[in-house]
């Protein structure tokens, strides 16, 4: 087996990364902040890279720390779950479903009461993360994957495919003098703050503003210098959606992810032009030991896709 760093050092880093505080981590682990600092410096020496940016405050993770933290968080959660399962053999183990953060928050979570009403015998644990968890290694039972094509090595079914539209809040439309009009003109969008977020896949054909303006026939450089001074950039798609709802700009969003916001009127399409997105797949490893629960959830998801929140599938 591959040699691991000392468990105390891994625990110390995971606690500091979660709390963003040496003092809070020390209190949780019942040690001194000095001991926590010593353990993290030991781990940094083993990794050969700094994991924390200690100055200026507040405490932040480095790029290396951002890469290490999710794996440790998931690992310790798995340890705790395994111990709990052993200690309570009669208790139902939650079905662990991993999903991209924005989809989990805006689409899946509002529909969970329907699942709970149908299957109270199968509790769920939702793991919202944009990291691809390893189902074969047991990191999750079911995955909702967002990709151009079906994930390899898994049993999967596509249940939705999206289109990306420019969306804005009614507040922003009113502020821009467009309250009585259906959408913005393309020229308007060269002067209104645009909201961007990162595509973790790095796909060069991802539906970004550059692709959208090209499809609209507007050169990428047109008014870009003026626009760039007002644009907002986010790492997380979910934060970008929150900014749009707050009226801070216009973003390209998946019509699947923001379906509830469009139906409620919290967001409106700001232009009719859309860009093709990717597919949403529900997937699991072949031969899963609790196939009844896995297939039950997958079947429910397929029947629920396309149905507004609160309505029952036909």
CATH topology classification for 7-87: Arc Repressor Mutant, subunit A (1.10.10)
Is residue 304 a contact partner of residue 284, using CB atoms and an 8 Å limit? no
Calpha distance 272→266 (Å, rounded): 17
Question: Is the preceding peptide bond at 46 cis, omega within 30 degrees of 0?
Answer: no
Residue 55 has a pLDDT of 75
Instruction: State residue 311's pLDDT score.
Output: 61
Write the CATH number of the domain with boundaries 95-307.
Answer: 3.40.190.290
- In contact, 93 and 122? CB cutoff 8 Å: no
pLDDT for res 255: 96
Which pLDDT does position 289 carry in this prediction? 87
| pLDDT at site 3 | 75
Query: What b/e string do you get for 5-19 counting C-beta neighbours within 10 Å, with b at 16 or more?
Result: eeebbbbbbbbbbee
Contact assessment for residue 166 and residue 212, using Cβ atoms and an 8 Å cutoff: yes
The predicted pLDDT at position 112 comes to: 93
Is residue 301 within 8 A of residue 95, CB to CB? The reply is: no
Task: Quickly list DSSP for 140-171.
Answer: -SEEEEEESSPPTTSEEEEEEEEEEEEEE-HH
Q: Which residues contact 113 (CB under 8 A, 6 or more apart)?
A: none
State how far the alpha carbon of 224 is from the alpha carbons of 267, 272, 277, in Å.
25, 21, 24
What are the tokens at 1?
């087996």
pLDDT per residue rounded down to tens, the chain (314 residues): 567 888 899 999 999 999 888 999 999 999 999 999 999 999 999 999 899 988 777 788 899 988 898 888 888 877 777 676 665 555 567 999 999 999 999 999 999 999 999 998 889 999 999 889 999 888 899 999 999 999 999 999 999 999 999 999 998 888 776 655 556 777 777 778 999 998 876 677 889 998 998 898 876 545 454 555 589 999 899 999 999 999 999 999 999 999 999 999 999 999 999 999 999 999 999 988 889 999 999 999 999 887 776 665 55
Residue 149 is predicted with a pLDDT of 92
Tell me the three-class secondary structure of 16-61, residue by residue: HHHHCCHHHHHHHHCCCHHHHHHHHHHHHHHHCCCCEECCCCCCEE
- The domain spans of the chain are 7-87, 95-307
């Amino acid at each position: 087996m591959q040699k691991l760093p000392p468990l105390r050092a891994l625990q110390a880093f995971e606690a500091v990364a979660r709390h963003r505080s040496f003092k809070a981590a020390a209190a949780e682990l019942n040690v001194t902040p000095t001991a926590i600092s010593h353990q993290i410096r030991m781990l940094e020496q083993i990794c050969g890279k700094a994991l924390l940016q200690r100055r200026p405050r507040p405490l932040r993770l480095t790029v290396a720390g951002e890469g290490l933290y999710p794996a440790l968080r998931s690992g310790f959660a798995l340890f705790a779950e395994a111990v709990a399962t052993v200690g309570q053999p009669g208790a139902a183990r939650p079905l662990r479903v991993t999903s991209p953060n924005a989809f989990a928050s805006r689409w899946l979570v509002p529909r969970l009461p329907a699942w709970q009403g149908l299957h109270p015998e199968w509790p769920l644990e939702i793991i919202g993360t944009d990291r691809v968890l390893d189902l074969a290694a047991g990191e999750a039972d079911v995955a909702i994957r967002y990709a151009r094509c079906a994930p390899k090595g898994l049993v999967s079914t596509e249940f939705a495919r999206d289109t990306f539209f420019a969306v804005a809040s009614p507040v922003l439309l009113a502020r821009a003098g467009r309250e009585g009009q259906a959408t913005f003109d393309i020229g308007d969008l060269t002067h209104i703050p645009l909201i961007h977020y990162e595509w973790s896949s790095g796909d060069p054909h991802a539906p970004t503003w550059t692709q959208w303006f090209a499809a609209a026939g507007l050169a990428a450089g047109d008014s870009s210098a003026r626009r760039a001074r007002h644009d907002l950039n986010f790492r997380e798609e979910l934060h970008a959606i929150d900014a749009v709802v707050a009226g801070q700009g216009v973003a390209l969003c998946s019509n699947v992810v923001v379906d509830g916001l469009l139906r409620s009127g919290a967001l409106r399409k700001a232009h009719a032009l859309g860009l093709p997105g990717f597919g949403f797949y529900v997937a699991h490893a072949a031969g899963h030991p609790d196939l009844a629960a896995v297939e039950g959830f997958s079947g429910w998801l397929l029947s629920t896709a396309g149905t507004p929140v609160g309505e029952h599938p036909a």
